[in-house]
Amino acid sequence: MPRRKWLRSGAIWIVLIVASLAVWLAFSGAGENYEPVDFTSSVIPAIRDGEVAFLRTQEGESRVEVHYTDTGRMPGESRLPPDTNIIEVLDSAGIAPDEVPIEVEQASRWGAILTGLTIFLPILFLVGILILIMRQSQGNSSQAMSFGKSKARLFSSNRPTITFTDVAGVDEAKEELAEVVEFLKYPEKFASLGARIPRGVLLVGPPGTGKTLLSRAVAGEAGVPFFSISGSEFVEMFVGVGASRVRDLFEQAKRNSPCIIFVDEIDAVGRQRGAGLGGSHDEREQTLNQILVEMDGFDSSTNVIVIAATNRPDVLDPALLRPGRFDRTVILDRPDIAGRRAILDVHTRGKPVEDNVSIDNLARQTSGFSGADLENLVNEAAILAARRNKKTVGRPELTEAIDRVIAGPQRKSRVISERERLMTAYHEAGHALVARMLPHADPVRKVSIVARGMAGGYTRTVPDEDRIFKTKAQFEDDISVFMAGQIAEHLVFEEISTGASNDIERASSIARRMVTEFGMSPLGPRAFGKKEEMVFLGRDISEQRNYSDEIAWKIDQEVQDIVDRSHKRAQEIIQTHFDKLEAIARLLIREESIEDEELEALFDMPRPRPDLVGPPTGRPSRLSQETASGGRVERRDEDEDDSGSLGTLRPQPI
């Protein structure tokens, strides 16, 4: 059958017709060249003068070939008058038949064929082109008819699957989805108790936290077909295509039930209605309406579960989130230290990692990393080991991979002057020194003056433990660390550079949020300003000012006071420990990068600890109560609240 498939192509037939035409033209023109002559005025006088050797014609044709006695002369070609033959023409001219030899050839079958081809070949050529155009139009019409078909990819149960053992760091989410697996495997168990199978599960979390992986693990555990589609694949430029694709997708799912439909980035079609650019007739809204109808129109006997993923649940239409459509919302956040350790165990499984590599230490240094970041980290480390012609992955490769994930690859080809290199060293030394001496600042893990990404140097700070929220003291210490780079430049070189632009921007942003969002100022616990967001675009476009000019002036003053206090504290630390600043800068110039152990070796005093700093009023802190239990200080957290608005902050280069 495959051998005959090429015969169905219209292009092949066109090529064959053109080739036949070329062959015919080659054969028809392969003989001698003939000079057109008039029979009456040229040929007859030549016969009388004895210049013609013989005449040749074909039976039933008016064409006559004239061959001369002079062999060097080109033969002639003439046409007889219609309804005459050569004998009659010569007789009327007074030439006897024996004066010139006449060769009369019989009509050839090939000649008739060639004559027919001369007439019909152009017609056949045009017919072939017409057939090709018709087939193309049929193909385009079939593609047009397929616009309304679903583009979902089906992963059947007989393919290699992903299970819950391949997913780590999201134990609570796995427990929630384990019940979905039981619904699909044993529906009669729940039906006997009158329980209804959930229609949909919404996975919410930042990018890279494993939403797609977890949904495929559910399908792998349940052993059912898995339809995967992106929200953007529903919508086309033609009106009604998205709704048609939704109908087709759910019809396929019902035929393959029990099964799972996974819609990635559902916010592409699930945004709030009435916010589109096209009003109520927007194509996205029509697609959303069809999704709402299909999800709420399942039969009770149809075991089809919709799993959707998004990192923007705030822009989804409320009708999607009500019970009966997406019954459950599963939150996937960035993993804590235990989750990161489990994820690293999964991704280092089967890789030749050296024995001296501590997964616990690696998990501690990657606070704020998502699952995708950790996978990328291990992969980058393996690539670096292969580039260095090593057989195993060691600590240097993993440490380098952390820096690559956070700040980007090294820019070794960047050429800078010695003065700029020295200024960068003191700038980063200022960050490192202030972060080392402030109790609420994150510990310094690495300082480098090697350019990475857009940064000329960086100081990487990572907290010892994961945080759910941040305090005012931590924010103020962070601002002091940001200010320290420019302060060190000014004290050493008596001038400032543009290298602190990002530091100033981030410090100003933190100070303003402390005043306007977190209530960490004398203005009290108030939120100033309301951000206006266009749901269709999914981003903040302006801030609605709900306060007076007097309050605006006070906000600016409070922001300035916070920045000034933090700036003054950082300046006092650098002036007091200027010798340590010099030592750190010299070590950076010599080594280019220093780790936390090398930095700590420059100090002869322990790092200040937050729990040893008492409250300003002198009263005992509720968060740090000493109990007489073998002389050990126990920390009892009474006011922890899981509703912190900050979440775990990802480490950023300074």
> From CA 453, how far away is CA 458, in angstroms rounded?
10
Q: Considering only CA atoms, which of 41, 38, 44 is closest in space to residue 78?
A: 38
Angle at 71 between CA 65 and CA 74, to 5 degrees: 50
Long-range pairs for 181-189: beta carbons < 8 A, 24 or more residues apart:
181/218, 181/221, 181/222, 183/303, 183/305, 184/222, 184/224, 184/258, 184/260, 184/303, 184/305, 185/222, 185/223, 187/258, 187/303
Q: Which two tokens stand for residue 14?
A: 């066109």
DSSP letters, 354-386, are -TT--HHHHHHHTTT--HHHHHHHHHHHHHHHH
Q: For residue 476, what is the enclosing H or E element?
A: helix 472-493
Give the neighbor-by-neighbor strand order of the sheet with 304-310.
Answer: 153-155, 226-230, 259-264, 304-310, 200-204, 328-331
Tell me whether residue 622 is exposed, middle or buried, using C-beta atoms within 10 angstroms of its C-beta: 0 to 12, 13 to 18, 19 or more: exposed
595 is catalytic: no
What is the bridge-based pairing of β-strands 304-310 and 259-264?
Answer: parallel
Residue in the block written with tokens 């000034």: 564
Which element (helix H / strand E) includes 313? none
Q: Of the candidates 446, 362, 443, which has an alpha carbon nearest to the alpha carbon of residue 607?
A: 443
Radius of gyration of the chain (CA): 43
Cβ contacts of 475 within 8 Å, gap of 6 or more: 510, 514, 518, 520
Count how many residues are written for the chain. 654
Decide if 484 contacts 444 (C-beta within 8 A): no
Confirm if 261 and 215 have CB atoms less than 8 A apart: no
Which of the following is catalytic: 428, 476, 489, 558?
428
Collapsing DSSP states into helix, strand and coil, what is residue 590? helix
Which residues participate in catalysis according to the annotation?
428
